[in-house]
Structure 1
Amino acid sequence: MESIQYYIYLIPALASFAIIALASSLIAKLFNRYKLPLVTGYLVTGIITGPYILSLISTELIEKIRFIDEISLGFIAFAAGSELYLKELRSRLKNIGIISLSLVSIVPIIGTVGVLLLADYIPFMQNLDLASRTAVAILAGTILVARSPSSAIAIINELRAKGSFTQTVLGVTMIIDVSVVILFAISSSIAISLINKTSFGFGFLAIILVGIISSILLGILIAKIISFILGLKIKDYLKIISIMALGYAAFLVSIELRNFSHNNLAYEILLEPLLIAMVAGFWMTNFTKYRIDFSHLVKLGGPFVYIAFFTLTGAALHLDVLKDTWLIALAIFLLRLVAIVIASFFGGVLAKEPAKYNHIRWAAFITQAGVGLGLAKEVAVEYPAWGEEFATLLISVIVLSELVGPPLFKWAILKSGESNTKATHAEFDGNNDAVIFGLERQSNILARHLQDHGWNVQIACLKSSLPEISKELSSNDLDIIDLDAIDFSSLDRLELEHVDAAICMLSDDENYEIAKLIYKKYGIDNIIVRLNDGKNIKKFHEIGVTTVDPSTATVNLLSEFVRSPSATSLLLGQSENQDIVEIEVGDKTLQGVALRDLKLPLDVLILSIRRKGQKLLVTHGYTKLELGDKVTVVGSLEGLKEVSLKLGQSKLE
């Protein structure tokens, strides 16, 4: 009868929480607009809707849907384990291992000692005896080690960071996220022993070892089951539900085994459910053929899990406790910061990393999220006497880390010089300017062709690699500039901030170096490279460069003439009195004006609009113009001149 009443209450409880979770996802997007993490938005929504403010989520409801925490924690651990891909870390595994060991050793020691010294100022620790205080401090020190792989990956992708510093930081983050779960399993066993006043000895160590080995073996077993599920021809959502169920099963097995051993054996067998799930994720990524499939499912289900978990976590925060301990939370945050600075510097020195990296690496390890929150919540479940207050304090530290960490990580990557973000280009000045890198007959012909279409053209060439033909070409009236080297100081002479197109006609290595520098500092949208080897096309496309392969260009052109002779003739300027041009919108009064409201000549047609690097292939009368749009127009030469003036461009291309 009680179970029926439970389910009668549970259904509307889940429905109401689902509505709040939906609102949480929308509110978090607002936070993201201001460069704040989505996790912060979920937590804030949970806090506002929780029992201490709006009471939309009551304390009773939180207790009833506690299983959502355990399902989410299992899934988050699967995701964390799947991020540790050994093949990607092999090249720097030694340095990653040394720095990870330094952090895993130093941070928990400093954290434990610091929390123990602050015990008299933490309300829920004031009445505990020394053994229990030590247990709390050990658990806190362990959780302070945790990192956030998801936040690290998001920032690395955002900055397009690549290099030894980035690779080492990411590897350390992955290793630590796995190590902290093993460390927590050991710390939890020690904490229980301290609280229960049981002695330390060989038997105690054997029990800890049995628990860890059993957790690892169970994780491998779950990975085998997941492999079987992924091999089935069923919908993705059913596979995701099955993975969530297996994560939840790890918690149920852990609880049941602990209760059974407590009641029937002389000692408790403690399995670590997060370690079980993390090992399963690690095994799926490194030792099965389903690495990509598993990663896809984790990414697919992740957003839903994070919304539910972090919203519920925010609602469960004891604001009454936080009101009295926010200064302590700040002190622990600063203590953690100092510990990370010391550990990361010491580890870098031992690993013989460059000094410039050792001074900034600490900034990459501040962010915390999923696993740290998961461990804090697990303490809340395992130690009901003071667990909720403990979780509130540690979650406050994690929230601070989540707010401060990402900007610091961005700063570290920028300082390391491994960021590859595109610079912002200056606004169009009304003139079409181009720079051609490389002095030869083709570049000479191209320069004159562009000049005939109203472009201002410079030709840049390296002094050290001027061909014999340069003497003949340099005597003409073209603007030719000799560069000492391919670097920012040389490129600055070309005033590239006002250039609209860059054409690279040197070797592939030189072309790539020039394109990369232009991408990072000057932000020119239109970079064209003449390829020498088709194998290099991928690296150019990664930084948004348009490539022309001479070995296939002629064949492609002939093919276009066969399939669409009129359009190709028009494109190549072979149609008498007609052309295709791209005009940049420079008239501010046209902002927001629909194409249908423009008074255009009857003999012109707008084909497409390129906006902020994206192409609107299909335009219609209701498409609205924005300042800086690149509008592709076809028509008569007179009509094109009229459209050019109307859109605010003084010269026609």
Structure 2
Amino acid sequence: MGLNFESIKLTIILIAGFGVVSIAANRIASLFQKANLPIITGFLMTGILCGPFVLNLIPSESISELNFINEMALAFIAFAAGAELYFRELISKINSIKWNTLGQLFFSFGIGSITVFFLADHISFMTSMNFNTRLAVSLLAGTVFVARSPASAIAVINELRAKGPFTQTVMGVTVLKDFLVIILFAMCFALSISLVSGNEFKYIDVFLPVLEMLISAGVGYLLGRLLDLLLAWRIKSESKAVIIVLLGWGVYFLNHGLGVLTIIPDHHIRLEPLITCIIASLYITNYSKYKPEFLSILAKVGPMIYGTFFTLTGASLNINILFSIWPIALFFFAIRLITIIGGSYAGGFIAKDPMRFVNVGWMPYVTQAGVALGLTALVSNQFPEWGPEFATIMIGIIVLNQIVGPPLFKYALRKVGEDKTRAKFQTDGIRDAIIFGFESQSVALAKQLMTNNWQVQIATLMKKGSIDEPEGIKIHYMDKINLPQIQEMGAAKTEAIICMLADKENLEVCELAYHHFGTPDIIVRLADRSYYDKFLNLGVRIVDPSMAMVSLMDHYVRSPQATSLLLGMEPGQDSRDLEVMNPDLHGVPLRDLRLPADVIILSIKRGGQMIISHGYTRLRLKDLVTFVGSKKSLDDLTRRFDY
């Protein structure tokens, strides 16, 4: 009993310690983003730094104790990978996925194995091997070369909000190769045992992994049906998220339980948890009406999962191995990189992919992680004479691939234009707004803004001549919502965009403004609540008319004075957000601003974060300061701040 208590106590301490490291990793990783590196590179480097081989904040013995976190995260990442595979969108990419997969398999495995075999005399642990053993090592090395990292791909895609034909092809190839590499490894592993030992080749060793794949797919289908029932359950989405993570973890428990079964003599049956979770997610994504909620849960929980997983992965990477065998690891790394490039170009040319895709098509496939490490461990255990040396070199290569791969993938996505992160806003210092949608409310809003010295335009999908144009307001007529027509209005430097069209059109406008202009203030009038999360993910300020009236009445009851001021109903009083543009105000404490007696500061927003201000708080350029006071005094302050 005491032993169990001590074990539980130790686990709690390890989880708490790792939790602190993970929180720190989130802060540190954001610095890597500022250097245009993927956030997972920041997590990996933090993990390496805090791991047992550098600062030892995460001791080596704790990594095995925390393996359940790895299992939870991998299952969740497999759900996210399956969610990227929507069959209706992939139909047009089947040819590209097929040829890119075959090209990668042929070059990475075929050319990679042949190269390792003929260069065996230059590889220290292979020089004294006979022909059969060299062939076995070459086949196994080629198989490890094929392995990819769906986890890293998903993390980079989600960070960049990537979407498009290139991203879909990459995910299709990555997931498909996850299936094929396990079957390929089973064949090569069985053949290698026969070559090294001289025993007869057993076909059952090849048949068994295929059977395991079929069982994994069947369990995945059942898990998908179970997820469908869960999503139909009327409970909070946070509770559903917890249950989804636990169900994914449960697949690993089931795998451990099946490991004791011996349906075939001397052969244990086991699941492939990643395949099971991918199939379950495929079912929800393609056949369930609860797909939107499922995707919303994945999007909300994903960042926390990726942070913990890649921090722990970084801690488990033995960086000392890389230093001890770096010449041979670099040599193998180069071989693998060349085969990936060759396979990508061959597959891309045969599939007739656009050249802008072909030129960077190899970059997403460099990263390796869990699958490659698992295959390497199996080789090390089966062949004690040379397996550990083989594993040491392979782990060194995996470390290099894990460090180099994510930045390459991020570069590729940006190069093909599928990076959907928020653009950097370029201000011109003019307070201007574009209102999408022509109706009485949009005209009234435009006039209200113009009385407060804003320059306002209204964009409409109506035809010219079908409306009475109000005086003093510029009207733009659009055939459809697209980037060129919105750019013609000067939207790239517009400070505020207000969307008052139908939800579908509003979402199109918001996505264009977010991805291409980085518009700081996007406001949308919501009609259908099913669009709420889509707008929220873009950082849009949402006005729900059904809730706005209730909220307004509530505030009038609890805070009538502040509400009247907010609505501009107090005579001569107003509130205003002013951005610090005047360089002379940079570094000036608030107490030295010499504000008019009828003006107070409500808040300061800096770098997207609200800060608690006091008299000694110093202003910084680009700070957004909220003032309340008389309109005349606010007008004077506007001139001082805008410069």
Q: Is the 8 A contact 2:75 2:245 kept in 1?
A: no
Q: Closer, same or farther in 2 for the Cα pair 1:220/1:596, shift >3 Å? A: farther
Q: Closer, same or farther in 2 for the Cα pair 1:164/1:563, shift >3 Å? A: farther
2:331 is the alignment partner of 1:337: no
Which AA in structure 2 matches 1:434? Answer: A
Corresponding residue for residue 393 of structure 2: 393
Mapping 1:120-139, distance limit 5 Å? 120-139=121-140
Q: Is the 8 A contact 1:46 1:312 kept in 2?
A: no
Q: Is the 8 A contact 1:435 1:458 kept in 2?
A: yes
Q: Deviations over 1:87-112 (max 9, x none)?
A: 95433566557357525642322222
Using the alignment, how far apart are the partners of 1:523 and 1:156 within structure 2? 19
Using the alignment, how far apart are the partners of 1:523 and 1:299 within structure 2? 22
Using the alignment, how far apart are the partners of 1:218 and 1:484 within structure 2? 50
Using the alignment, how far apart are the partners of 2:435 and 2:18 within structure 1? 57
Using the alignment, how far apart are the partners of 1:75 and 1:316 within structure 2? 28
Q: Closer, same or farther in 2 for the Cα pair 1:517/1:319, shift >3 Å? A: closer
Q: 1:356 deviation in Å? A: 6.0
Using the alignment, how far apart are the partners of 1:222 and 1:25 within structure 2? 33
Q: 1:649 deviation in Å? A: 3.0
Corresponding residue for residue 3 of structure 1: none
Corresponding residue for residue 527 of structure 1: 522
Under a length normalisation based on structure 1, what TM-score does the superposition of the two structures give?
Answer: 0.74
Corresponding residue for residue 516 of structure 1: 511
Using the alignment, how far apart are the partners of 2:66 and 2:302 within structure 1? 17
Using the alignment, how far apart are the partners of 1:412 and 1:611 within structure 2? 32
Mapping 1:450-461, distance limit 5 Å? 450-460=449-459
Which of residues 70, 88, 91 is equivalent to 2:88? 91
In our comparison, the structure showing a higher alpha carbon Rg is 1
Using the alignment, how far apart are the partners of 1:560 and 1:411 within structure 2? 48
Q: 1:143 deviation in Å? A: 1.4
Q: Closer, same or farther in 2 for the Cα pair 1:340/1:45, shift >3 Å? A: farther
Under a length normalisation based on structure 2, what TM-score does the superposition of the two structures give?
Answer: 0.75
Q: Closer, same or farther in 2 for the Cα pair 1:22/1:547, shift >3 Å? A: closer
Structure 2 residue matching 1:606: 3-state secondary structure = strand
Q: Is the 8 A contact 1:189 1:270 kept in 2?
A: no
Bigger CA drift: 505-514 or 324-333?
A: 505-514
Using the alignment, how far apart are the partners of 1:209 and 1:188 within structure 2? 13
Q: 1:249 deviation in Å? A: 10
Which AA in structure 1 matches 2:129? Answer: L
Q: Closer, same or farther in 2 for the Cα pair 1:499/1:313, shift >3 Å? A: closer
Structure 2 residue matching 1:367: 3-state secondary structure = coil
2:376 is the alignment partner of 1:379: no
Q: 1:130 deviation in Å? A: 1.5
Structure 2 residue matching 1:422: 3-state secondary structure = coil
Q: 1:490 deviation in Å? A: 3.7
Which of residues 31, 34, 53 is equivalent to 1:33? 31
Q: Deviations over 1:295-324 (max 9, x none)?
A: 89998787666545543431561633x244
Using the alignment, how far apart are the partners of 2:526 and 2:15 within structure 1? 56
Q: 1:578 deviation in Å? A: 1.1
Q: 1:32 deviation in Å? A: 6.0
Which AA in structure 2 matches 1:581? Answer: R
Corresponding residue for residue 366 of structure 2: 366
Structure 2 residue matching 1:609: 3-state secondary structure = strand
Which of residues 625, 634, 643 is equivalent to 1:631? 625
Which AA in structure 2 matches 1:635? Answer: G
Using the alignment, how far apart are the partners of 1:494 and 1:287 within structure 2? 43
2:312 is the alignment partner of 1:319: no
Q: Closer, same or farther in 2 for the Cα pair 1:323/1:526, shift >3 Å? A: closer
Q: Closer, same or farther in 2 for the Cα pair 1:304/1:514, shift >3 Å? A: closer
Mapping 1:247-262, distance limit 5 Å? none
Q: Closer, same or farther in 2 for the Cα pair 1:133/1:536, shift >3 Å? A: same
Corresponding residue for residue 328 of structure 1: 331
Using the alignment, how far apart are the partners of 1:436 and 1:482 within structure 2? 12
Q: Is the 8 A contact 2:481 2:508 kept in 1?
A: yes
Corresponding residue for residue 4 of structure 1: none
Which AA in structure 2 matches 1:469? Answer: I
Q: 1:433 deviation in Å? A: 2.2
Corresponding residue for residue 465 of structure 1: 463
Corresponding residue for residue 539 of structure 2: 544
Using the alignment, how far apart are the partners of 1:393 and 1:593 within structure 2? 57
Using the alignment, how far apart are the partners of 2:457 and 2:83 within structure 1? 48
Q: 1:477 deviation in Å? A: 4.1
RMSD: 5.3
Corresponding residue for residue 449 of structure 1: 448
Corresponding residue for residue 236 of structure 2: none
Structure 1 residue matching 2:576: 3-state secondary structure = strand
Q: Is the 8 A contact 2:144 2:375 kept in 1?
A: yes
Using the alignment, how far apart are the partners of 2:444 and 2:245 within structure 1? 59
Q: Deviations over 1:213-272 (max 9, x none)?
A: 3687599899999x9xxx9xx9x9999999989959968997x999xx9xxx8xx6476x
Which AA in structure 2 matches 1:185? Answer: A
Q: Is the 8 A contact 1:147 1:176 kept in 2?
A: yes
Q: Closer, same or farther in 2 for the Cα pair 1:620/1:183, shift >3 Å? A: farther
Q: Closer, same or farther in 2 for the Cα pair 1:533/1:325, shift >3 Å? A: closer
Structure 2 residue matching 1:580: 3-state secondary structure = strand
2:185 is the alignment partner of 1:184: yes
Using the alignment, how far apart are the partners of 1:393 and 1:152 within structure 2? 23
Corresponding residue for residue 198 of structure 1: 199
Structure 1 unaligned spans of 5+:
1-7
Using the alignment, how far apart are the partners of 1:548 and 1:221 within structure 2? 44
Structure 2 residue matching 1:424: 3-state secondary structure = coil
Q: 1:341 deviation in Å? A: 0.8
2:153 is the alignment partner of 1:149: no
What is the percent sequence identity of the aligned residues?
Answer: 33
Using the alignment, how far apart are the partners of 1:75 and 1:551 within structure 2? 39
2:498 is the alignment partner of 1:503: yes
Structure 2 residue matching 1:381: 3-state secondary structure = helix
Structure 1 residue matching 2:391: 3-state secondary structure = helix
Q: 1:205 deviation in Å? A: 0.8
Q: Closer, same or farther in 2 for the Cα pair 1:252/1:621, shift >3 Å? A: farther
Q: Is the 8 A contact 2:100 2:343 kept in 1?
A: no
Using the alignment, how far apart are the partners of 1:565 and 1:86 within structure 2? 47
Which AA in structure 2 matches 1:206? Answer: I
Q: 1:336 deviation in Å? A: 3.1
Q: 1:552 deviation in Å? A: 6.6
Q: Deviations over 1:499-548 (max 9, x none)?
A: 22223445555544433322222221112345566665554443233344
Which AA in structure 2 matches 1:465? Answer: K
